[in-house]
Chain A
Amino acid sequence: MFNENAIELNNAFVGYGDVTILKNLDFKVKIGEFVSILGENGAGKTTLFKSILLILPLTKGTIRVFDKEVAWGRDNTWLRSQIGYVPQNHNKGNFPISVFDATLLGRWGSSFSYFKRPSLRDKEITREILRVVNLEDMMHHDCKALSGGQTQRLNIARALVRKPRILLLDEPTTHLDVDSQRKLDATISNIRNQYELSVIMISHDKAHAISLSDRIVYLRNGKIYNDIGVPL
């Protein structure tokens, strides 16, 4: 079903200072695949995302994205156009900004910056994405006025608005009530199909991971100790 890789880490070592967190990691995600990562707190799940995003350098090994080698410290403009990232525990802060503006600004650097103002197309895409995540009605509200579930859908919109081909979700449903969780899951499945995304989702809930993904990878102490396909 899946042939080429969207993401491929080979023999990757990653750490903070002298402490190595990810050890000799081989990890692949095929184009169009939905992979969930499970593992205890501190297993290195978020660290894996940060290496894929080139926020952290590999001390050894390689990363390929759509078969193109990328590395920390190089120009990653291309990478930013390919990957959307929804971080863990995004805190809302106290700054007033409309849902529309917060989403639109996710496109910064791709088609507008500094003297170049957002175009009609930027705004069109922003509206489209907000429609897809069911926030169209909240467009002109202050982000602070959103519920937990709505905030997560906003965060997904902010990542999607660049029209990436890969989506990284770091514990998107943690701290949400059951109802919001169900709505968010529907949104995630929906955008995955509509935009033919390759998705990596970090989760702490096995049943939740199974319900959404094609494959589940278990991480423990920076190593993969289990990698199982989810039967259809």
Chain B
Amino acid sequence: MNIIEFLKVPIFQRALIASILAGGTMSLLGIVIVVFNMTTIRFALMHFGLLGGAIGLALGANPLTVAIAAIALASLLFGPLSDRLKLDTGLIGAFFMTGSIAIAFLLFYKAGVPALDVFSLFTGSILTLTSNDLLFICVLALIIVLFYVIFYKEIQLIFYDSDQAEWLGVPTKKIRNALLFLTGLSIGVAMKIVGALLIDALILLSAMSAMRLAKNFKQLILLTSLFGILTTTGGLLFSMVFDFPSGATITLTGVLILLISLLTQK
């Protein structure tokens, strides 16, 4: 089949729309992860997603729905918890991470979940998106865009100098926690699209590439979004044409863009 024929199939149409929306908007939350130095948190959230997925599989529910719910809950708790306990988020992350993955494996074992189902949590697939999944991605993409548009100045100030932001009266913690929550939801969606092990491809790589090239916030946002779309749609089209697994191809596209940005110094 060539690309035109592929695009007549509803599954591929959904996958393409999802890849444009997710690539263009969820990548923007990678900026949050890079600037706030939250690489541990995103890893911990991913583990939480696995735990949610495990619970879903054990209960016979849709594993990814439970995974997204678990991640959303965890990301709601991270910010306030780290403020209250005065712990660094890295430590909290490590704590949740090991705990949740251990419980997940216990659940897999006790409920006798088939290995293939467990494997699907780790690899995901953009080609199994339902129209409800797509609706969820649309709504999330819209919220992310609106959030960045409305709080454009505030986000910039918090990213650049959160002390000054706080002193000027910007609701720094609220905005940070909201961004954390959106990041959590996006990680959940990324599990569905590229799988738990490759969420970075969708969320982190584009931001890291753009970070190296952008000279101001506007450029950062536009480049991140552009790289995000190139990563997901490029990866998806490649995987269709060459019959490669989509998650891996999307990830490789992201890695390739990062590599090019590393070589193209400012």
Contacts and interface: CB of A to CB of B under 8 A. Distances in A.
A108 B211 contact: no
- Chain B contact patch, size range: 20 to 34
Given A105-B153, A105-B156, A108-B153, A98 B168 contact: no
A85 B163 CA distance: 11
A77 B34 CA distance: 32
B151 interface: yes
Interface string B140-177: 00000000001101101101110111011110000000
Contacts of A142: 215-216
A87 B161 CA distance: 11
Q: Secondary structure at chain B's binding surface: helix, strand, loop or mixed?
A: helix
Interface string A60-103: 00000000000000000100100001010010011111100110
B78 interface: no
A224 B87 CA distance: 36
Nearest to A158: B164
Contacts of A158: 164
A142 to B, nearest CB: 4
Contact of A114 (B150, B159, B168): B150
A114 B163 CA distance: 18
B154 A114 contact: yes
Contact of A94 (B34, B153, B157): B34
B62 interface: no
B160 A95 contact: yes
A106 interface: yes
Interface string A134-160: 000000111100000000000000100
B238 interface: no
Contacts of A143: 160
A112 interface: yes
Given A96-B216, A142-B215, A105 B34 contact: no
A39 to B, nearest CB: 22
Contacts of B151: 114
A118 B152 CA distance: 12
Nearest to B163: A87
Given A97-B160, A141-B215, A108 B154 contact: yes
A183 to B, nearest CB: 23
Residue of B153, B217, B219 ringed by the most chain A CB atoms within 10 A: B153
A94 B211 contact: yes
Contacts of B169: 77, 80, 109
A112 B153 contact: yes
A96 B217 contact: yes
B217 A97 contact: yes
A225 interface: no
A113 B220 contact: no
A18 to B, nearest CB: 16
A55 interface: yes
A82 B241 CA distance: 64
Contacts of A141: 215
A98 B156 CA distance: 11
Interface in B170-220: 170, 211, 214-217, 219-220
A101 B157 CA distance: 9
B118 interface: no
Contacts of A102: 160-161
A142 B236 CA distance: 34
A64 to B, nearest CB: 20
A16 interface: no
Contacts of A109: 168-170
A2 interface: no
A87 B167 CA distance: 11
6 contacts: A93-B160, A95-B217, A98-B215, A108-B168, A140-B215, A158-B164
Given A90-B161, A113-B153, 10 more contacts: A95-B35, A95-B159, A102-B160, A105-B157, A113-B154, A114-B150, A114-B153, A140-B216, A141-B215, A142-B216
Interface of A: 53, 55, 77, 80, 85, 87, 90, 93-98, 101-102, 105-106, 108-109, 112-115, 118, 140-143, 158
Interface of B: 34-35, 150-151, 153-154, 156-157, 159-161, 163-165, 167-170, 211, 214-217, 219-220
